[in-house]
Amino acid sequence: MDIRSLRYFVEVVQLNGFSRAAEQLFVTQPAISRSIKKLEDELGYTLLIRENEGVRLTDEGTILLAHAKQILAQFKNMEQALKEKSGPLTGVLPVGLPPVIASTYFADIIMAFSLRYPQVELKILELGTRKMRDAMLNGEVETAAVMLPFDDERFDLDIFSTDRLMLLVNEKHPLARRDSVKFVELINEPFIFFSDDFRINELVISACGIYGHKPVISGRSSHLDLVTAMVRAGVGITLLPDSMWRKTSSAGLSIIPVIEPILAYDLALATLKNNQQSRRAKAWHDLAVNMLRINRR
């Protein structure tokens, strides 16, 4: 088994065909076919089934695909690290940040990093929990901030803050003038949710489950501005981190602590275990750890 065979295999799957993969990789189709046949012979399993519409993965092929993506990502990072062993930091650094906390915790870090390493292009990817995990495993994101719990068996996690969810309602809502609200009082309210992959949704769904209810969802968006706009318009209520209101306008809204239960969670910086980090990623991680530690005091 070699890196080239794994690359051919992944390209065939992603492009759904041998001919398309051959064009993309600038090699002949027979060369790709021979390489994948050799891979199947070495492993002792059929990995792909050719069909009229393209290719279909076998169960064994699905397992190999997940591992192959990780191997290729690590190989790419190793090559990059060897090239960048010395000299100024350059290139592109993909950083994953949850949209809800990105500006709250990382605006100053992004500015400081850009000033310190001006030749590095920061590529910020705002992703939910599941997509963030997959992006890191596939090498699309080198370092990230995540809401816990996360897949800690495959990642190193440095906890940097504990946050809690606060109720957000239109200022004319019946609950708007309350000092606190028990969660049970919210279970029949219409909720504004984020997109499916967001950890905040899971916290709300779990809390509703304590009382045997499923949340009533009156709207969804992956954009914080749209979520708060829908709340201002009276479409529904939502729950958002306490920390974000330190830097976000709350005009037209009331922000109220939720109790019984308090919906608290930890935030952490995440890196993939046993992975050779690029100098860029290490520089970002070290700077973020230091600045977050100072801000936490």
pLDDT digits (tens, 9 = 90+) for 111-133: 999 999 999 999 999 888 778 98
Give the amino acid at 95: V
Contacts of 95 (CB under 8 A, 6+ apart): 122, 123, 124, 125, 141, 142, 143, 144, 284
Q: How far apart are CA 284 and CA 143, in angstroms?
A: 8
Place 252 in a pLDDT band, splitting at 50, 70 and 90: confident
What is the reported pLDDT for 270? 92
- β-partners of residue 191 are 217, 237
pLDDT digits (tens, 9 = 90+) for 255-293: 999 999 999 999 999 998 877 778 899 999 999 999 998
What is the reported pLDDT for 171? 92
- Arithmetic mean of pLDDT, 179-200: 90
pLDDT digits (tens, 9 = 90+) for 131-153: 898 898 888 898 999 988 887 68
Alpha helices for 199-246 (secondary structure H) = 199-210, 224-232
Place 194 in a pLDDT band, splitting at 50, 70 and 90: confident
**Cα angle 113-115-117, degrees, rounded to a multiple of 5:** 65
What is the reported pLDDT for 84? 64
pLDDT digits (tens, 9 = 90+) for 78-103: 777 676 666 678 889 999 998 777 88
* Neighbour tally for 245: CB within 10 Å: 15
Closest CA to 297 of 199, 122, 160, 193: 160
pLDDT at residue 296 greater than cutoff 70:
no
What is the reported pLDDT for 108? 92
What is the reported pLDDT for 137? 87
- Arithmetic mean of pLDDT, 160-165: 91
What is the reported pLDDT for 295? 63
Contacts of 259 (CB under 8 A, 6+ apart): 180, 181, 182, 183
What is the reported pLDDT for 58? 92
Q: How far apart are CA 77 and CA 103, in angstroms?
A: 28
The helix (run of H) or strand (run of E) holding residue 28 is none
